[in-house]
Amino acid sequence: MNQAALHKLVASRAKDKSPQALFELRLNTNLSLIQQLFFSLYPVEKHNKDFDDLLKLFPKLFALRSKELRLQDIKRLDAGTWYQNEEIVGMQLYVENFNTDIKGLQQKIPYLKNLGINFIHVMPITTRPKGESDGGYAVNSYQKVDKKYGTQEDLLHLTAEFRKQGILLMLDFVVNHTSDEYPWAKNAKKGNKKYQDYYYTFENRSTPDAFEKVLPEVFPETAPGNFTYIQEMDRWVMTVFNNYQWDLNYTNPKVFMEMLTNLVKMVNLGVDLVRFDALAFLWKKVGTISQNLPEAHNLVALFRMCLQVVAPGTIFLAEAIVAPKDIIKYFGEGPKLGNECELAYNASLMALLWNSIATKKTGLLYKSLERVPAKPKESTWINYIRCHDDIGLGYDDGFIREMGWNPPEHRKFLLDYYCQRLDWSPATGLLFMYNPKTGDGRITGSAASLLGLEKALASGDGEQIQLSISKIILLHALILSFGGIPMIYAGDEIATLNEYSFEEDPAKRGDNRWVNRPQQNWALVEKLNDKQLPQSQIYHTLKHLIAVRKSNPIFADSNNLKLHHGGNEHVLVFERTHHSNNGLLVIGNFDERPQVIDLAWVMKLGYFTKGEPMDLVSGEKIVVKSGLLELKPYQVLWLKKA
């Protein structure tokens, strides 16, 4: 049951409005679905006692939640789908790269607020192995802060200040695996059967070999295969990501209850949104690729329903970088409609935007977006250009063929374009996890470097510098105006280039994703008043666009986005509609040459009919005399009806 519906139902039944009474009502309201989900995973004939243990766990977990957070839960339930608000603008960052540690991040709150950021995704800050740790996603603890970031007390001070300043915090819940140094793994290595059963461990290669027949490899270059032999316990353990990340065995209900406890303790630190990491991988089954299985969806829904009882003001983001038809399912389908994650990454939009930059065409973008199933009205997207990870090329082969392109050759072109294999390409990216057997690969690099700024600055080519600036602004303007929450990757607001120092660090050298995990350049920030700097032009334009977005309710996500075809293969057009008829038309040119679109069909939508519309990007009215609307290279317009 979505938050708004739950609130209405609970409020209608509640005579006693105390947090304790409302908790009991939420439990009773959700109990039937929780029971159904639990026994769909753990058959009743074997796990009746386990379900009783879960019921006993709820009041214990609720007792851990502070009075302040309980009252915040009620306030958010009153607000309904508060996360669809146009005023939310996010930033993803590494604490150590942004400003040293947690205290350093707190010191930069004025910078964030000045830009307009009020939602922060902080990358993992809990304890992890000293060497390789997959950027912190190999967890040694779910609550203990790694000493290089500070202390748990520092984190509590930060979250308290965030609440005062109206800033939301998102942390990762690494739900699929732990590190091999996690206490459960350590006990398993010592031969403890209980904890060996918390993971997928096997005494011989029989079952692992059966899995491997169809399991894909996530990191074929650095971590081939999906199982690792652990000499201390003389067993094989499933390690889908890296050999130091052990996959949790959710067929064991005790694992679910232990992880639910970890989740609640984590959100009680003051977490508003939970990034559910690698949730597509949660359930493993021999003979399948063990991704996106129905049981994984039931497990996510079970986590969601349980958290809704204990801490309903906290919501889930699905970190599911899968095909569009699969992403949409993590919002919930059928009986689980709206009952899995409230948010999901719009990974398809991200990848399609990069495709349009390389091809200068929007056909594949349109074909893909038009066939994405409608999401539940209570859900929303996280829209982004770059993040800490690579760019995958998970486009639909059928759509590529409809464009008249050969799928393998097209993917090769994209890898060549972005990864410095074409002399004429402006991009300076790196090739990540290339598989010579299949030709598959991914792309790493900062947004500015991938969009040509690094190469243009090195050559001193003023025209190319301006084109790069326009491309950076174009992509950001699109995610700021598309339906959902925009998420800016820290450093992109000041056009940070690739960071190559990772090659000197043995713990990072084998993972070139670190090229797009740069240090925040505070010396450059001090120079942003120099409007001649490319970085300054980008920063101040993004600051302006964020302010425009936050002051216009039309940007709130109420499923009010409609795609339009502009009759020009280089141009993307979509509209944000509003009940007051004050629509907003977004038009973006993906070509390095000027383009035109016929004004006649634009007028049919109600633009230009009562005078020149205002372009909210430039702050100027658009005057057209020829009957054709002309777009400059990589220009983006936000047209508001006169």
Among this protein's residues, is 247 annotated catalytic?
no
Annotated catalytic residue within 134, 277, 440, 557: 277
Pairing outcome for strands 440-444 and 430-435: antiparallel
- Give the active site residue among 134, 319, 340, 342: 319
Query: What is the distance, to the nearest Å, from the Cα of residue 228 to the centroid of all Cα atoms in its chain?
Result: 29
50-53: long-range contacts, CB 8 A cutoff, minimum separation 24: 50/253, 50/254, 50/257, 53/257
CA gap 170, 165 in Å, rounded = 15
List helix spans (H) across 108-248: 109-115, 152-165, 183-189, 193-196, 206-212
Q: Supply φ then ψ for residue 83, to 5 degrees.
A: -80, -5
Closest CA to 549 of 590, 574, 586, 579: 586
276 three-state secondary structure: strand
- Is 319 in the active site? yes
Structure tokens at 558: 């109420």
Q: Which residues pair with 246 in a beta bridge?
A: 178
Q: At which residue do the structure tokens 């995610």 appear?
A: 479
Burial class (CB in 10 A: 0-12, 13-18, 19+), 335: exposed
The 8-class DSSP code of residue 374 comes to P
What phi and psi, each to the nearest 5 degrees, are found at residue 276?
A: -80, 100
CA dihedral of 430, 434, 438, 443, whole degrees rounded to 10: -30
User: Maximum distance among all alpha carbons in the chain?
Assistant: 80
Q: Is the dihedral of CA 264, 265, 268, 274 positive or negative?
A: negative
- Nearest to residue 142, comparing CAs of 159, 158, 128, 163? 128
380 CB contacts (<8 Å, ≥6 apart)?
81, 83, 84, 342, 343, 483, 484, 485, 557
Helix axes 3-13, 19-41, angle to 10 degrees: 130
399 touches 368 (CB < 8 A): yes
The burial class, CB within 10 Å (0-12 / 13-18 / 19+), for 293 is middle
Other beta carbons within 10 angstroms of residue 465's beta carbon come to 18
Q: Which residues pair with 175 in a beta bridge?
A: none
Torsion sign over Cα 423, 458, 356, 588: negative
Q: Are 173 and 269 in contact (CB under 8 A)?
A: no
Structure-block tokens of residue 150: 């500070």
Of 530, 557, 217, residue with least CA distance to 375:
557
399's CB contacts (< 8 A; 6+ apart) are 364, 367, 368, 371
Angle (nearest 5°) at CA 560 between 559 and 561? 100
Q: Hey, which residues are catalytic here?
A: 277, 319
